Chain A
């Protein structure tokens, strides 16, 4: 096991055979390599969950924090060092449930990070309870009479909340997924990719077959800059599910808006000199 990889090597995983996560791992690796990123310039950030193990399985800087708390860590790491490519790669429960407040407010902050959500519409690691995106009627060990809570539509929410890059992808369409991932990483601002990911062990509703029947790729005729159209597209979640970049808009990033971050100089390289400190003390005299 090398810890100084020249490319994004991957490690043995603890995922179930046939899980949709494998394609996502492969795609992240391919996207980063295609973009010519170097492992030491990338931080992969996750919370806790099955999806959240991904940073453990890829040879890059990695931060596996607390359940639901990947976004605050990632955003602050980017604030600390703009030179890093920061990618949150984690689950739907982590992103939209436990971390829901951070999701909402980091759309507003618009720090230049990328957010890949393995949306398996279930809590995998804790062995199959409803997640915020679980469909109505799903029976689980907790939702014993079937889930009767309205599922969250994360892409609709993100567009409505003002995100500048919102995409949906499917782990069963790897090439497409890689292409979307690359666009998201290259986008200047907060970019969300909600990735439909079958959980073969616990989600018996949203299987590979279920998605294969429904997903279709958005083509050139679709105008990703039209917000009203995007809102409508984002609401297609039943018989047909569009995948691709649903909405994109150029927006001022956090670093562009914050005068202290415009220079792009990593915070680590800055100092506050003694003269400044003495000058500030004089103001109290």
Chain B
């Protein structure tokens, strides 16, 4: 389905203070792909996502969602198709109950209350938090908040799911839950993160950013083992792919051979 593609063509973006955050970025993401966007702090990942969502607009170049340009006019249509989960769930949750928060999106699209209820319950079910329905979002734990903010986006049934650092500040168990959740989605996914192990698990394609430029774009298995490239961009080979100092095999196999030496 070509109308699910997302394309950047020579996009530039400069912040009002003269900071050139995005510099000639081009890529095309097709239906069903899950793409990890990685890069060190300040590489321009969040800026890139904001450009996609039309929160800010490119100074040069064009951004296409399907065959539609991202402009002020097309925003309502585009935002219905892209769902973005913010880096900080507190920015995303502002209603007084979890239910109302998840229903906020669907209600804005003027559905009747029955349809809204269906969508909300579906989203809560998928994320596995129907029991939190009547709780107040600001009294939840970090992991629960993250789940709720994912549900607020799912309830709008977007074609493309966009997430800024979905696993940051989560404990291992909540992190695992979010990863499994992400893996179970059929959506086109775009995920930014420093958690390269997560990226390796969830994404099949990786785009590396450095100082607002695309440094590499390719299959996750290739890029995430390229130590030189990652080093140059201020990153590190993910732990699960690191080769063992002793025998050169990756951790997965190390576990079986000589874990006691680690």
Do A and B assemble together? no
Interface residues of A (CB under 8 A from B): none
Interface residues of B (CB under 8 A from A): none
